[in-house]
Copies of this chain bind each other. A is one copy, B any other.
Amino acid sequence: MSTKDLILSTAKDMISEVGFHKMTTANLARRAEISEGTIYRHFESKEDILQHILDTFDQKYLALAEQCRTRMDKGTLTMEDLLGNHFTFLNANAADIKIVLGTYSILEITHRSMGRFIERMRGLFEEFLSRGIAQGTVRDVPLADTGMIIANMFFGLMRIKLYWPEIEDFSKEAVAFCQRSLIIAPADKPTGNKAEDRP
């Protein structure tokens, strides 16, 4: 692992653990077992490290989105799949998410980055909804707003999971919540879902 990557990965761990402000260059150097000066050979500033972390994360989500779109084009992506993929992604990148959630309010670069992230996620969901509506599997809801609502729900789920891990996971129920609101039941299409539950 190159020194640059070592710094990046150590910084990622530290920022997600203690926050950006509490990760000092001294701490970082000690934990990465390099000298403080070395950091500045690879990065312009402390913020620059964060920038790299954010950029990498950005790429990763871009890849996920592309992959989802490909499957959407093939028509093999159910809502459960889409949300499931996102859960998997977010869990796998918990440290990045924590960094984003923990710094967007204090650092302009993260704020912008998270803004883009939200927009991308919203866009993806919008696209999914749009196809669903066209196919008659999804109710005719406003695209932009609903996309945002779902994206938003994801962030909330992650936040709770990352910062209040003692609260029981409610992601499954969140999926159900969305499905009830959006999905048109396959059989008796005119009606809502779970019609069978009622007399």
Contacts and interface: CB of A to CB of B under 8 A. Distances in A.
Query: How big is the A interface, by class?
Result: 35 or more
A168 B142 CA distance: 13
Interface string A117-159: 0100000000000000000000111101110110011011101
A24 to B, nearest CB: 13
Contacts of A53: none
A163 interface: yes
A139 to B, nearest CB: 6
A193 B192 CA distance: 6
**Chain A contact residues: over half helix, strand or loop, or mixed?**
helix
Given A145-B173, A148-B160, A22 B106 contact: yes
Q: Max chain B CB contacts within 10 Å: which of A104, A155, A177, A192?
A: A192
B191 A105 contact: no
B155 A104 contact: no
